[in-house]
Every structure is written in structure tokens, then in C-alpha cells.
């Protein structure tokens, strides 16, 4: 994280008004926006724990609720450019061999010169929002590679270079539990709505 004393006045102002900026483009999602803004502010103030990415989030919910839009808006607000969002469609990484596409093929293999779909893009743009769309569709081996990024904030590519993820904000999205969310949405505002129960149900699905 960047110590507060080293943040410019403009950056401090941007962080303070982060919720407002996100709300301009994303309708509703109060809790998600507040959680994202808080985590980013803590990290930029140098108060994050460990050496992982600036922040890591899992957004659950059906298509069309604003998950991608929130990631785009965050990229534009924090890094000044929508192009600072790196989107990876995880449904394309459902096979074991897809790990090589993500981090780059090893020497002697086809695609070695191209670099990895994830590692090369982050290497070229270390300050970015990485959107891992539909993460539940990724192969277990791909998922294990991503867990390494979440924990260490680093990943070694096919050429043996260590790619730094500590300045990225990682957002994984999933449609898992969408039926639970939809069912509970209809109850919101009534006595039947049980937020704690919904969270417990979703945690069971994620396990």
C-alpha cells in the first residue's frame, strides 16, 4: 500500500469520494460498494494485512446485477482508465492444460513467446483491476494457481519471471447461489427476509 503521507491531495480526495463515484454508475449494491471502498482505502493507506493484492473480492449473483460494471467503474476511478480492467473469462479455463494459457507455456511449447493471458497483462499493467469472471467454471488446477496469487500477490510465468500482483484489485465473480439470492430478494422488506440465513446458505454453496 501507499502510505497516506505519500498520497497526493487528488488521490486522497478520490478515495474519500469513492462510494459516490461507484454509486454514479452502479445502481443499488450498497453493501458491496461500501465493502469495496473500505478495503481499497485501507490498502492505499498502507494498512492491509500480508503481501497479497491490494484487495480481493468475490461477487455472487445472477447476470445483470452490476458485478462487471462495478469492476469497470473501480478501474476508472482508482486507476484513471476503464482499460485498467483485465477481464479473464474463467469458463475458458475449465481444462487442466489451461494453466499454461493463464501463466504462459513453458520453453519449447507452442505459445511460449506469447506469455500468459493473466501474467503478461498484469506484467504490462501492474496497476489494474483483474476481473475473474465465472470463477466456478475454472479447473481445480487453475483455481490453485489463483489461490497462490490471492495469498502471495505473486505468480511465476512460463518464462520464469515473477509477476507482481500487489498493486492489483482482484474481483472474482460467480453465479453460484443465484437461486438463493433471487429467492431471498422477493422476501426483502418483509418479515420473512433473513439476511443471516441467506449468508449461511451461500457459504454452504461455496464450500
**Which pLDDT belongs to residue 150?**
92
pLDDT value of residue 115? 87
How confident is the model at residue 205, as a pLDDT? 53
pTM over 0.85: no
Provide the domain limits for residue 143: 52-176
In this structure, are 171 and 183 located in the same domain? no
DSSP tag of 47: -
What's the domain count of the chain? 2
Q: Are residues 108 and 188 in the same domain?
A: no
- pLDDT for the residue numbered 203: 55
- Integer Cα distance of 118 and 128 in angstroms: 12
Pick out the chain residues at pLDDT < 50. Answer: 1-5, 181, 198, 202, 206
Q: Are strands 154-156 and 162-164 parallel, antiparallel or unpaired?
A: antiparallel
- Give the pLDDT confidence score for residue 160 in this predicted structure: 92
Per-residue confidence (pLDDT) for residue 191, from 0 to 100 = 60
Q: Which residues contact 199 (CB under 8 A, 6 or more apart)?
A: none
**Same domain (yes/no): 182, 91:** no
Read off the CATH number of the domain in which 93 is found. Answer: 3.40.50.300
Supply the pLDDT for residue 59.
83
Q: Note whether 78 and 65 are same-domain residues.
A: yes
> Burial letters for 168-187: b for 16+ Cβ neighbours within 10 Å, e otherwise?
bbbbbbbbbbeebbeebeee
Amino acid at each position: 500500500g501507499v502510505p497516506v503521507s505519500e498520497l497526493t491531495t487528488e488521490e486522497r480526495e478520490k478515495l474519500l469520494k469513492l462510494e459516490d463515484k461507484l454509486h454514479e454508475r452502479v445502481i443499488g449494491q450498497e453493501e458491496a460498494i461500501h465493502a469495496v471502498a473500505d478495503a481499497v482505502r485501507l490498502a492505499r493507506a498502507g494498512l492491509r494485512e500480508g503481501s497479497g493484492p491490494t484487495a480481493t473480492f468475490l461477487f455472487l449473483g445472477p447476470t445483470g446485477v452490476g458485478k462487471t460494471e462495478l469492476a469497470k467503474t473501480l478501474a476508472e476511478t482508482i486507476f484513471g482508465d476503464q482499460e485498467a480492467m483485465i477481464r479473464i473469462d474463467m469458463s475458458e479455463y475449465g481444462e487442466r492444460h489451461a494453466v499454461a494459457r493463464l501463466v504462459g507455456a513453458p520453453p519449447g511449447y507452442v505459445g511460449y513467446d506469447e506469455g500468459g493471458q493473466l501474467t503478461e497483462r498484469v506484467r504490462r499493467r501492474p496497476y489494474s483491476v483483474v476481473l475473474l469472471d465465472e470463477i466456478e467454471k475454472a479447473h481445480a488446477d487453475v483455481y490453485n494457481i489463483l489461490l497462490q496469487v490471492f495469498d502471495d500477490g505473486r505468480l511465476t510465468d512460463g518464462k520464469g519471471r515473477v509477476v507482481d500482483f500487489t498493486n492489483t484489485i482482484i474481483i472474482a465473480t460467480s453465479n453460484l447461489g443465484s437461486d438463493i439470492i433471487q429467492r431471498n430478494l422477493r422476501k426483502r422488506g418483509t418479515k420473512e427476509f433473513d439476511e443471516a440465513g441467506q449468508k449461511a446458505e451461500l457459504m454452504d454453496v461455496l464450500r
